[in-house]
Copies of this chain bind each other. A is one copy, B any other.
Amino acid sequence: MSSEQFTIGLLGHGTVGAAFAGLLEQRAPHVQRLTGREPLLAGTLTRSGGSFEEILEGSEVVVELLGGIEPARDYVLRAMRAGRHVITANKQLLSQHGEELFAAASEHGVQLRFEAAVAGVVPVVRVLSESLAGAHIERIHGIVNGTTNFILSEMERGSTYAEALAEAQLQGYAEADPSEDVSGKDAAAKMAILARLAFGTPVRLDQVPYEGIEHLQGDDLQYARELGLGLKLIGTAERRDGGLSVRVHPAFLYAGHPLASVHGPFNAVTVESSAITEITMSGPGAGGVQTASAVLGDLISVMRPPAALTAPLHPLELVHDVSSSYYLHMEVADRPGVLAEVARVLGEQGASIKSVVQRGLGENARLVMVIHPLPQSRLHAAIERIGELDFLRSAPRAIRVIEEEFT
Contact = CB atoms under 8 A, between A and B. Distances in A.
B297 A106 contact: no
A319 B195 CA distance: 13
B207 A406 contact: no
Interface in A91-113: 102, 105-106, 109-113
Given A130-B300, A257-B402, 12 more contacts: A27-B134, A109-B307, A110-B307, A121-B276, A126-B131, A132-B293, A201-B314, A217-B329, A223-B329, A242-B316, A246-B318, A250-B400
Interface string A160-185: 00000000000000000000000000
Most chain B CB atoms below 10 A, which of A134, A203, A261: A134
Contacts of A292: 275
Interface in A2-21: none
A200 B311 contact: yes
Interface string A278-298: 111111100101101110110
A257 B324 CA distance: 16
A250 B398 CA distance: 10
Interface string A252-266: 111011100101000
Most chain B CB atoms below 10 A, which of A130, A223, A231: A130
A278 to B, nearest CB: 6
29 contacts: A30-B134, A34-B134, A105-B310, A112-B309, A123-B132, A123-B279, A126-B130, A127-B127, A131-B297, A133-B297, A135-B296, A200-B314, A200-B315, A217-B329, A219-B366, A223-B329, A226-B368, A227-B327, A227-B355, A239-B316, A242-B317, A243-B319, A247-B322, A250-B400, A252-B401, A253-B402, A278-B283, A279-B282, A306-B306
Nearest to A297: B131
A313 B201 contact: yes
A309 B209 CA distance: 27
A31 interface: yes
A48 interface: no
Interface in A387-407: 397, 399-406
A284 B277 contact: yes
A247 B27 CA distance: 28
A352 interface: no
A132 B197 contact: no
